[in-house]
Amino acid sequence: MAIKRCAIVITGASGDLAHKKLIPALDVLYSRNEICDSCIVVGTGRKPFTDEEFRRSFHVSEKFAQRIYYHQFFSGLKDFIESKGEFSRIVIFFALPPVAYETTARNLYEEGFRNGVSIVIEKPFGYDLQSAKKLDKELSSCFNESQIFRIDHYLAKEAVQNIMVFRFSNPLFYPVWNSRFIESIQINAVEQATITQRGAYFDSAGIIRDMIQNHLLQLLALLTMEAPVSLNAEDIRIQKINLLKTVSIEECFRYQYEGYKLENGVDSDSDTETLAEMKLKINNFRWATTPVYIRTGKAVHRTGTEIGVKFKEVPKILYNEKGKLDQNKVIFKIQPAEGIVVDISTRAPGTESEINRSFMNYCMRDNYSGFIPEAYQRLLMDVLKGDHTLFVSAAETEVSWQLLDNILDKGELTLYKKGSLPAGKTDASWIDFDKYSNLCMY
């Protein structure tokens, strides 16, 4: 059903997020008739624009541009929206620095935005456990939890949504998804780029806050949680929270690439990590003896995000008498190419017992030719529908911060060269993810 009679407000509307992500995503949704003519988009901010000046700053269809308006500051914003028609719902997107969230929520509340209003905020949701609790308290003093949508754009990636389907709809894998059969779980999220233009933000955060606290712990929860009783957003959240409460960090090592301190916006004495490696333990019956390894960082040799599930070795008999047979693996390719790879052993044709590695691939680009929404298109549509499934709750953010609170900004830094992946310090026998990097590529 197309969305009708909704006012979409973008605060900080002259910034990059509105121009690069939000307005283009809404333009696509409008062109696909998922948003009706009875909906409007209102930008607001400190800069003065006429409606026409504001519209001309975006590369959108002429018809959609006529649904875009601008109002300077918050004062009178509610009356301005009401002057454009009757709307059953108002969605307000905070395209602002996180430091402005609390003040913005209070200003909107005092302006009269209360019932029938939803607010959408981007990560980071706080800086540590204490600040996350403070932020949640301030937001909840103005809006209840059902009105707050916390975006983690990783959750909107098609490959991430496929994790639950893979686990819970395939009896081939569901019975072996536990410590009895799985040796280790490995999450690898690396990037060739440096911090580029994000120096000031990144230096105050670091890779643990930027990637692990939100994106990668969410991936871990989806991969290892118990089956929810339904696909209702709250039932899924309950299982993710239950899983995250059982996780503990056994080891954490921090690294920094050479030349990081010379980047724009970075303190010359910075001890911020640009790469981190962790060993975690899940303290429940399903996963108690299966270690989890997380590695994420910038300025390495390639870009890619993958989850590797490594199965235990077969006994040293038959084809594995010498104990050299590679283990089976399931590789979830999250980006840049989406897909699932099952790595198995097969007999080489024309030989008596020579074993080859064979890949059984599901590549999204090859298996689906229809429209695949970009992450913000999916997230915005879900907000307009009021669907919280792909959004993070206050309880999830707080339990994630609680897990990391004791290791943030602690431990010595090891330098590594740009363009290289430093040798790990945990006991992980890391999957060679590079071997799978070309699979499913466009």
Report, as residue numbers or ranges, the catalytic residues. Answer: 215
Residue 294 to residue 187: CA distance in whole angstroms = 5
Ordered DSSP codes for 7-23: EEEEETTTSHHIIIIIH
Q: For residue 171, is the peptide bond before it cis, meaning its omega torsion is within 30 degrees of 0?
A: no
| The pair of three-digit structure tokens given for residue 299, joined into one six-digit string | 């300025």
| The pair of three-digit structure tokens given for residue 425, joined into one six-digit string | 């310090």
Based on the number of CB atoms within 10 Å of its own CB, is 175 exposed (0-12), middle (13-18) or buried (19 or more)? exposed
Q: Phi and psi at residue 117, in whole multiples of 5°?
A: -115, 140
Whether the Cβ atoms of residue 239 and residue 227 lie closer than 8 Å to each other: yes
Angle CA 315–316–317, to nearest 5:
95
Q: Quick one: which of 80, 84, 53 has its CA closest to 67?
A: 84
Burial 140-155 (b: 16+ CB within 10 A, else e): eebbeeebbbbbbbbb
Q: Phi and psi at residue 11, in whole multiples of 5°?
A: -80, 150
Residue 338 to residue 144: CA distance in whole angstroms = 35
SS3 state at 98: helix
Whether the Cβ atoms of residue 121 and residue 105 lie closer than 8 Å to each other: no
